[in-house]
Amino acid sequence: MSGADFLRLAKLTGGGIVRRAARHNRRVIQAELGASGSIDPTRTHLNETLTGPPTADDVATLARDLMREAGIDKTRKNAVLALEIIFSLAPNHGLDERAYFTDCVRWAGDKFSGAQNILSADIHRDEAAPHCHVLILPLVAGRMVGSDLVGSRKTLRDTRQNFHSTVGSRYGLAKAPPRPVGATKAAAAAKVLEKLRTGLDGALKSVIWPQLRSNIEQDPGPYMVALGIDVDRPSKRMKTMEEIFISPGRGPKVERKPIGFTAPPSARSLCSVGFAPQDSAAPAPMCAPPPAPAPLRARAKRQEQAESIDHAQDLRREREDCFDAGLYDPQTGEFIKAPTKDGHPEDWPPPTSDSGESPHWAD
């Protein structure tokens, strides 16, 4: 069993953080506190230092000396003073641990600021799974650039991919699985919990077990790697030809319209807020004025009818023998209007008397 390659990258900040990290990696803190936690003190002698000064204090001194040589005397309060990378293998991996972790340290030096800035590298074999801690000073071109070296989530994904292709795949390790979701996450969490129960793991009796179980159910990926569990992704069901043909596709959602019918045009206007009633047969005119009150509409209708009557009267046919010959204008070729009385037009053509003569207004 080989499992998957696994690395975790952390930024270390705060005064004295390099010394504290080195004390943990060299098991100085554990020696002070005694046997407790996940560390088995009977196996601590199996731990190994691959590179770096012999003591934790010397590791912290090395970091200060390298910074001083680069002209860095002071740093910001929240500056990243070191990067810590943890490379881990699954239990019963069957690989040459020392060769694998040595290649991991070499890759870390090439990837982050150079081998000269590796402060320490320690293999731990006194816990459930063998792993290696690597402390790196993020010093590039005379500047501390820890955050830039870690980068964004995409940068971290690219870093893991580079590690797998450069180191992990050469040892037959699978790529670390991405964070599972959906049915895959549920299956992975069930596998992790089953592994812990069947192995009678001490975590089951811990006071933090409820929170630990919640974390496993939320993201079982790291626990899968630590326990050497492989969970196959459920196969995706293939679509039938009918489902493919009626699928809406990946483009923008478009309202489907029945063949042979046209949807009524939108009744929204550009100058008003709201929509026209749904039962309106015709679209609202652009910038249509609001409807007039009922009395005004009735008055306008009567005026329109009167104008249409006048217009019809203006267009009525009249014979020339109905006009007075004295009103004929030879220059225009038309009959002039009849005289008016008190400013009011007379009926046209003027009525004739019983004698057939046109009446004349008296002065």
pLDDT digits (tens, 9 = 90+) for 202-222: 778 778 888 888 888 888 877
pLDDT at 208: 83
CATH architecture of the region 6-176: 2-Layer Sandwich (3.30)
Query: Which amino acid belongs to residue 201?
Result: D
Percent of the chain at pLDDT above 90?
33
Rounded alpha-carbon distances, angstroms, from residue 37 to 156, 206, 347, 360: 30, 10, 120, 132
123: nearest Cα among 132, 115, 135, 113: 132
Q: Where are the alpha helices (DSSP H) in 39-96?
A: 56-69
pLDDT at 220: 81
Contacts 24+ apart (CB under 8 A), 208-217: 216/189, 216/192, 217/185, 217/189
List the domain boundaries for the chain: 6-176, 177-232
Q: Identify the H or E element spanning 81.
A: strand 80-88
User: In 3D, which of 194, 152, 159, 153 has the Cα closest to residue 175?
Assistant: 159
Residue 262 has pLDDT above 90, yes or no: no
Q: Compute the distance between CA of residue 91 and CA of residue 88 in angstroms, rounded to an integer.
A: 10
DSSP 249: -
Residue 39: predicted pLDDT: 81
Peptide bond into 350 cis (omega under 30): no
Distance CA 116, CA 169 (A): 26
Q: Is the pLDDT of residue 231 over 60?
A: no
From residue 169, give the alpha-carbon distance in Å to each of 2, 27, 80, 88, 158. 11, 31, 31, 14, 15
Residue found by looking up tokens 């043909």 in the block: 245
Taking 70 as the threshold, does the pLDDT of residue 4 lie above it?
yes
Cα–Cα distance for residue pair 52/267, rounded to 1 Å: 77
Buried/exposed 93-130: b ≥16 CB within 10 Å, e otherwise: bebeeeebbbbbbbbbbeebbeeebbbbbbbbbbbbbb
Reported as a pLDDT band with limits 50, 70 and 90, residue 191 is: confident
**337 has a pLDDT exceeding 60:** no
In the numeric block, the tokens 């040589």 are attached to: 69
What would the two tokens of residue 176 be?
A: 């670390």
Tokens, residue 182: 């959906």
Q: What is the pLDDT of residues 145-177, one digit of tens each?
A: 999 999 998 998 899 999 999 999 999 988 876
Q: What is the dihedral of CA 43, 170, 177, 150, to 10 degrees?
A: 80
The predicted structure's pLDDT at residue 84: 96
pLDDT of 97 over the 90 cut: yes
| Whether the Cβ atoms of residue 271 and residue 286 lie closer than 8 Å to each other | yes
- Could you please report the per-residue DSSP string of 145-164? -HHHHH--HHHHHHHHHHHH
